[in-house]
Structure 1
Amino acid sequence: GPCKAVVNLFRKLKNEFGEDDGLHFAVAEADSIPTLQPFRNKCEPVFLFCVNGKIITIVRGVNAPLISKKITELVQEEREIAAGQKERDEVLTKQIVEDASRQLAFFFPNFGIKRTDQKVEKTLALIRPSLLKERRRKYSVLQRIKDDGFKIAMQKEIILSEEQTREFYKEHENQDYFPVLLEQMTSGPTLILALTRENAVAHWRDLLGPKTVEEAMKENPNSLRAKYAVNNIPIAQLHGSSTPDDAQKELQFFFPQEHTLALIKPAAAKKHKDDIMQKVKEAGFTISKIKEEALTHEMATQFYKDHKGKPFFEHLVTCMTEGPSVVMILTKENAVEEWRQLMGPTDPEVAKVTSPESIRAQFAQDILSNAVHGSSNREHALESIECVFGEIDID
């Protein structure tokens, strides 16, 4: 739909590249074009870049510097092709994945993208400590992951304990290399990634190459395990799940399903309940429990006990008790953190700048009546769930 924020940018670029007949801008209304059905009800500007009849990249949200950079690069490339200085690379069609946690693929037939029988999978990838310390090489691996069509659905960086390492690698415990693996895995932070794309497990394994560094160097020197080996470290620095079943188990090990308490505050519940509930569902959360309830002063005080004694505390409690709230238990992998990301920053004015698609950016009134509440960590989530729902079995 129309996006006034970039109109001036498009005019400026059109003037700068006025001699290029191939540069065109168009506005498309997703509701009236069947091809753009995946973008309906998303309430966000999306910029599709097309070359030679194919979508080659997407920018979501109004990121003027990135949009300008993409356009400039594409125009320059087309000039070089027209001048015979460069041949047009074959544009590989990529599946566009909306939300990795829901694993839904969107296809655009009008641009030559064909449906396949392969389904979007998740797989686990680990960047082990010795490689993770080398920042430039770490970012090179992450870029390669993106270039090969993977989406990073979830990630976290943790230092594994000896107990965690033994549990995760228990099938390898009797192998000669296990002591070295144990020492390596507990020597510093490991970056843990949940990757999604079509045929993700097999594709990531193919990129990794043979299991050992020695085999990778001899048999497939272009594999990731060969290219990103670390001197004097015999253990390969990259891990991938062997099968879809292993991927499911390994992802559950590092990203177990969590429960978090989510609350739509009274003012937002009255005006925006349906819209907020829609965003919750689109984000892939399972609503395990839900009820509408007017919070008591004691319950609101418990939610915000960390703010007790601060000047705004009583006003905050009043906002929470002025009418019925919608209280939910949300379930999902990494639920606590993902709900906090969906809520956005506490201050809606900050949210509008840094997280314009967040709930607070779109539906909050002010910093106190800021539409939604969520648990700050897993322990707080369990306390809050028990406070509102009592002792219940939600697993």
Structure 2
Amino acid sequence: MSKKRQEVQLQQDIETQEEWEEMMAKEGLWVVDIYQEWCGPCAAMVSFFRRMKNELGDDLLHFATAKVDTIDALDKYKGKCEPTFLYFACGVLVAVVHGSQSPLVMRTVTEQLAQEHKVIDGNSQRKEVRTYCQTDDLENGELDESESESEEMGYTVAIIKPDAVRNGKVDEVLEQMKEKGIDVVAEEERQLTEEEAREFYSHLKDEDYFEELVQFMSSGPSHVLVLTKGAETDGSVLKEWREMIGPTSVEEAKEQAPDSLRAKYGSGKYMNALHGSSSPETAAREMAFFFPKLAVTKKKGVERTLALIRPDAFRTKRDEILEKIRESGFKVALQKQMTLSREQAAEFYKEHEGQPYFEDLVTRMSSGPLLALGLAREDAVQGWRQKLGPKEVDKAKEEEPESLRAQFAVDDVEINQLHGSDSAESAKKELEYFFPMQQTVACIKPDSIGTKDAIIENIHEAGFRIAAQKETVITRDIAEEFYSEHKDKDYFNDLVNHMCSGPTMFMVLSKEDAVEGWRQAIGPTDPEKAKAELPESLRAIYGKDVLHNAVHGSSNEEHAKKAIEQVFGPLQFNSDGTVQGIFLFYPDIVVNLCMVQNRLLELDSKL
């Protein structure tokens, strides 16, 4: 019985607004697992919390579960099925972790507990963070996914570092921002304390230059800014600012991007003059760090819709149509050339079955290659429908002669040449049909493992989700199996030897049409060819020769599935591209926490 009472006491159960307010008034760090009644708290984390509580033995550390359904303060988290852990210190939200990522959850506990001790000792102040679920002007606690992405991705943090400030470069940098159309939302000149510098750069604490970086960043004032760019909400300001400042290494910046700001103003190593957020998530954290009370203006969300250039128009009018699409402000986010079978065409247009034109439509849709496009823009669904014009070609020519269906009609063909989704719901289904969520295997080879952080930044910027990753030194047997498709090639032994020569970072990437998307991102096998044909590709930037070409990507979906099995074991994926269950990836083992959850709890109850 005593053991049962201890288990209950580990996490205080909060089920009413009154109990929530009482907890908020208490001292210490509270780690709160918020949940909805239909799914319950995250049981897989209980053993980790108990072990942490026992090992730390810190009276300031408390754990709780809170039922979103019955607590008014958590209304805005209703409908969010992802596990979420809120960290409160004396009623102040100081950190948030989404998902059951036990290493991150536990690391955040350690960091925030240490921070709370500093606050109590009078050596620091609490820094409140805001989550998008907390924004005051949300209606009924709901936030449309596209709005969340646009709000996160429409801003970035820039820092003009002490060396550039001392050298009087602030005005020059601001002028170059202005020339690029970048707007400054907030700015301040601020000298970081050593403690603040350590906190801000905590992700670099294991680097040998960390102490020197802290001293440098606290050696004088920095100029800190939040940047945006007009009405753009597709993450372009974050990417554009990083392109403006250039590679992190000043030497690389001077060699690869001589016109970049770091090449112009940096002096070496960490004294590279400027900083830019590496991802939308990092930008949100950095904004909370420097401007905790800043309320950015919410922008209208970017939508995606499906466009099809049907076979007749594809053969003769493709380039002209694509140019019209770009002129109309649409971004081509996804693109695929394919040929539908008659059965596929009939399935896609089955809602039109029974109409006089159905057989002709199916015949023409399966008559040759077509181009499927995922278009992105504010109000994309309605905007694309307006550009298309009426469905009937004769009506389009008579009533809206400037519409695309009128301009690109094919003589003696009654079927219009362009398709557009008729609603946001249809767009989602149709995009999933033509661009299903897919996984591919990427690896950063031993010759480029030193630039893995920069390559991973590129992966995020390209819209891939890293569903799993593992860094390891592979054996010769594994390398031979991994590259078995090349075993008859002259270079096979050299390739295997190279892959065994040092650490390799393996990743599972998720995205619509991920295999082809990643192949496009890395470029041709030969870096010289990549530089000529795709100069922005990863092999063009980081590759040295055919053998030392920086990165690898699966050649097709079948090879991707085989490689995932070889490296990570039998993974299953959710519809959003994440891994089903809770996985921990170690160099030589993959652990599914959901599979061992019951065993952990059973063993724990016997301790």
TM, length-normalised to structure 2: 0.47
C-alpha displacement at 1:27, in angstroms? Answer: 8.6
Q: Which residue of 35, 41, 45 maps to 2:242?
A: 41
SS of equivalent residue, structure 1 residue 149: coil
2:328 equivalent to 1:148: yes
- Aligned-residue CA RMSD (Å): 2.7
Q: Which residue of 367, 370, 374 maps to 1:190?
A: 370
1:298-330 Cα offsets, whole Å, 9 max, x none, are 221122223223322111101111122111110
Following superposition, which runs of at least 4 residues in structure 1 exceed 6 angstroms of deviation? Answer: 29-33
Over 3 Å counting, the alpha-carbon distance change for 1:189 and 1:353 in structure 2 is closer
2:475 equivalent to 1:327: no
Counterpart mapping for 1:161-180 below 5 A: 161-180=341-360
Counterpart mapping for 1:85-234 below 5 A: 117-134=299-316, 137-234=317-414
C-alpha displacement at 1:139, in angstroms? Answer: 2.2
Q: Is the 8 A contact 1:158 1:190 kept in 2?
A: yes
Q: Is the 8 A contact 1:129 1:185 kept in 2?
A: yes
1:78-113 Cα offsets, whole Å, 9 max, x none, are xxxxxxxxxxxxxxxxxxxxx9xxxxxxxxxxxxxx
2:434 equivalent to 1:292: no
Greater gyration radius: 2
Q: Is the 8 A contact 1:287 1:331 kept in 2?
A: yes
**Structure 1 alignment gaps of length 5 or more:** 1-25, 46-60, 63-98, 100-114
Q: Which residue of 24, 28, 43 maps to 2:176?
A: 28
Q: Which residue of 263, 266, 281 maps to 2:443?
A: 263
C-alpha displacement at 1:387, in angstroms? Answer: 1.3
**1:355 paired residue number:** 534
Q: Aligned pair count?
A: 302
Percent same amino acid among aligned pairs? 47
Q: Is the 8 A contact 1:123 1:244 kept in 2?
A: yes
Over 3 Å counting, the alpha-carbon distance change for 1:132 and 1:375 in structure 2 is same
Q: Is the 8 A contact 1:44 1:357 kept in 2?
A: no
1:114-142 Cα offsets, whole Å, 9 max, x none, are x88432111111111122222xx332222
1:43-78 Cα offsets, whole Å, 9 max, x none, are 688xxxxxxxxxxxxxxx99xxxxxxxxxxxxxxxx
> C-alpha separation between the residues in 2 aligned to 1:352 and 1:208?
38
> C-alpha separation between the residues in 1 aligned to 2:175 and 2:478?
48
Task: Report the AA paired with residue 153 of structure 1.
Answer: A
C-alpha displacement at 1:238, in angstroms? Answer: 0.8
1:16-44 Cα offsets, whole Å, 9 max, x none, are xxxxxxxxxx9937997856763232368
Task: Report the AA paired with residue 383 of structure 1.
Answer: K
TM, length-normalised to structure 1: 0.71
> C-alpha separation between the residues in 2 aligned to 1:338 and 1:153?
11
> C-alpha separation between the residues in 2 aligned to 1:157 and 1:383?
25
C-alpha displacement at 1:364, in angstroms? Answer: 2.4
> C-alpha separation between the residues in 2 aligned to 1:346 and 1:337?
14
**Structure 2 alignment gaps of length 5 or more:** 1-173, 183-222, 230-236, 247-256, 259-278, 280-296, 575-607
**2:454 paired residue number:** 275
Higher relative contact order (CA 8 A, sep 6+): 1
**1:51 paired residue number:** none
**1:341 paired residue number:** 520
C-alpha displacement at 1:361, in angstroms? Answer: 2.2
**1:73 paired residue number:** none
